Amino acid sequence: MSAELDRSTNPQGRYLFLKGKIQNRKYTFATLYVPNQNQAQHIRMTLYKLSSFTEGTLIVGGDLNVPLHPLLDSSTGHSLRLVDCWRATHPADREYTHYSALHKRYERIDYLFLQQEQLSALQSTEIGTALWLDHGPVTLAMDSPQVRPATWTWRLQDSLLLDLETRERVSEALTTYFDLNTTVEHTATTILEAHKSIIRGTLMRLASKKKKRIPSTDV
């Protein structure tokens, strides 16, 4: 970070907010470590504090100690309109970040969130393998307004829309997404905004798989 502007921490180490500039653009990073009891109340209180701290592009991550819905809206009066990045780019997949020995089950309780207006910059989100810790890492890649790839920019190929398998996969992904998220807790605006990333991510993965199936020709 080229210039740190401000930070806010919790005495118990439950959250850290960091605000600064990268290439003269403001970013706010927030990491949360939620206790294993009263998770919803703790998350609401933390997001309430974060709403008044945030400036610029907001990226939130951490161990929430509870599985959540793909869309996370705070009910504090000023909604941060956070979207679960992994679910947005993997609408029909199942992966886990933690194994609970107590409950003897796998869970996805580690998250990365972006605000819905930042979803268009999201390229990918991946869950890594837990090697030394009992939690798997979650990573994301996103576009920067200052740094644009000079040699490659993804564009929708018209041929994808003519492919029957592609249309079926996109339809399945959208059906799963809307089934999971069409609830009274989520506004129609938030759901519709987030579904754009679902379509984009699905098409990018299908295009990549299709490209790998085409044998290369040496000239």
List pLDDT tens digits, range 55-82.
999 999 999 888 775 445 434 334 677 8
Does any domain span residue 158? no
H helix runs in the chain, sequence order: 39-53, 85-89, 158-162, 164-181, 188-213
Q: Which two tokens stand for residue 116?
A: 């819905």
Does any domain span residue 104? yes
Does any domain span residue 7? yes
Does any domain span residue 184? no
Does any domain span residue 128? yes
| Torsion sign over Cα 84, 187, 51, 74 | negative
Domain count, the chain: 1
Residue in 104, 108, 105, 65 with CA at minimum distance from that of residue 86: 108
Q: Do 178 and 191 touch, CB atoms closer than 8 A?
A: yes
Q: What is the CATH number of the domain that holds 61?
A: 3.60.10.10
| Confidence grade of residue 151 (pLDDT, cut at 50, 70, 90) | very low
- Collapsed DSSP state (helix, strand, coil) of residue 31: strand
Mean pLDDT of 27-48: 90
Domain that holds residue 148: 3-153
Q: Give the C-alpha distances (Å, rounded to integers) separating 149 from 35, 127, 144, 145.
A: 40, 24, 9, 11
Asked if pLDDT for residue 178 goes beyond 90, the answer is no
